[in-house]
Homo-oligomer: A and B are copies of this chain.
Amino acid sequence: MPRQKHCRPEDLFQAIGRRDMWRYWPLLPFKSVEADFSPLEVGPSPTISCDKLAKKLGISRLFLKDDGRNPSASLKDRASNVAVAKALELGFSNIYCASTGNAASSLSCISAAAGLNCYIFVPAATPEAKLSQMLVFGSRVLRIDASYDEVFDLSMSIGEEKGWYCRNSAINPYLLEGKKTATFELFEALNWNVPDYILVSAGDGTILSSVYKAIMDLLDYGLISRSPVVLGVQGENSSAIADTYDSGFPFEPIDQTTQCVADSINVGKPRDVIKACSYTKQNGGGFIRVSDDEIVAAIYTLARTCGIFSEPAGAAALAGLEKALADGIIGRKASVALLITGNGLKDIRPVAALCKESKVLPPDEKLIKEELK
């Protein structure tokens, strides 16, 4: 398809008989899309306008892109979908990745549907629900007693020697292209109106970069006329990208030992740090750091106000918004979109205390009524 400015969305996203992310194939790295690449539907995830929470926060509009509604319950399915399609296109029958958990459960899911053998390298501490997914989907799971950063290096060495197709962040250039479809869907749901801000948490920096890539694509094709300000949210003790960005151009990665309640963004050696920082500089974005307590509080706020149970990394975007509002970085009249990157069922540890505190009552009507007083 020839590159053109100011085209109509319907020309660009022509029907290929699917409603999922493959409908954006003219902007994806495939000459054509086999409609049966993957029978699973990745996207379209809902874009929810939550007026109650917007009012509570004192902003004009709040949009939540709920990517926990994907097949393996995270945004990573968009990347895995493209990686698996590419592996099939190139004739591979084996694929691998290192992951904090979501990329691995996602790749396991999409590979199982496509019939690829999947090899997974994860830290031993990966949440049980995500580990269950990988194992149930039949991946060969290598749980390694090491950090994500070490596991990543081990996977690269072994995967290359074995000649498997690599779905590792920042190594595989197509992941970004898959992930950008979340932002395409967001803008399409907003009828190509641009919110003032988009906030998304950042671990390796690939999802953050994908938001910028989507915006640049849409500007390029004239589908939107201005860019929102994009803010990456990191844990205050897991802020390697933000720290690198703050150290100034030319960016030199600052690695660190990290701790963050959100395992998906607990990354000390982010693989897409240079891209994320360059895109941020180029587009006038920025970074916000949030604490574990702020992330957990945001899980409850999202659930109780909007009915969305987000995994910690998803709720971090809301924690970032709250902090940006408190610090005056975002003004009170702004319209804001948050990328909710995964479902809370994937890691219930941060809210496990609630279950423990929850009292078991005897089947005694009088007692239960007392309890309700």
Contact = CB atoms under 8 A, between A and B. Distances in A.
25 contacts: A38-B307, A39-B49, A39-B51, A40-B48, A40-B306, A66-B71, A69-B69, A112-B304, A112-B306, A119-B372, A128-B348, A131-B358, A132-B344, A132-B351, A133-B309, A133-B345, A135-B351, A135-B358, A137-B309, A142-B371, A142-B372, A143-B358, A143-B361, A144-B361, A345-B346
Interface in A138-154: 138, 140-146, 150-151, 154
A137 B304 CA distance: 5
Interface stretch (A8-16, A316-324, A329-337, A362-370): A362-370
Interface string A341-367: 001111010011011001111110100
Nearest to A115: B52
A144 to B, nearest CB: 5
Contacts of A20: 46
A50 interface: yes
Given A299-B136, A307-B110, A355-B132, A362 B40 contact: no
A111 to B, nearest CB: 8
Contacts of A40: 46, 48, 306-308
A112 B303 contact: yes
Interface string A106-136: 0001111111000100001000110111011
B141 A358 contact: yes
Nearest to A41: B46
A343 B344 contact: no
A282 interface: no
A283 to B, nearest CB: 30
B363 A73 contact: no
A37 interface: no
A307 B136 CA distance: 9
Scoring A38, A39, A69, A142 by chain B CB atoms within 10 A of each residue's CB, the highest score goes to A39
A326 interface: no
A158 interface: yes
A362 to B, nearest CB: 6
- Quickly give the copy total for this chain: 2
B363 A71 contact: no
Interface of A: 20, 38-41, 46, 48-52, 66, 69, 71-73, 109-115, 119, 124, 128-129, 131-133, 135-138, 140-146, 150-151, 154, 157-158, 161-162, 299-300, 303-309, 343-346, 348, 351-352, 354-355, 358-363, 365, 368-369, 371-372
Given A46-B40, A358-B141, A112 B305 contact: yes
A157 B365 contact: yes
A112 to B, nearest CB: 5
A142 B351 CA distance: 18
Contact of A143 (B145, B150, B360): B360
Contacts of A151: 363
CB-CB nearest 6 A-B residue pairs: A113-B307, A146-B363, A345-B345, A41-B46, A138-B304, A135-B354
B345 A303 contact: no
A362 B138 contact: no
A348 to B, nearest CB: 4
A177 B144 CA distance: 49
Contacts of A352: 128, 132
Contact of A345 (B39, B50, B73, B124): B73
A350 to B, nearest CB: 10
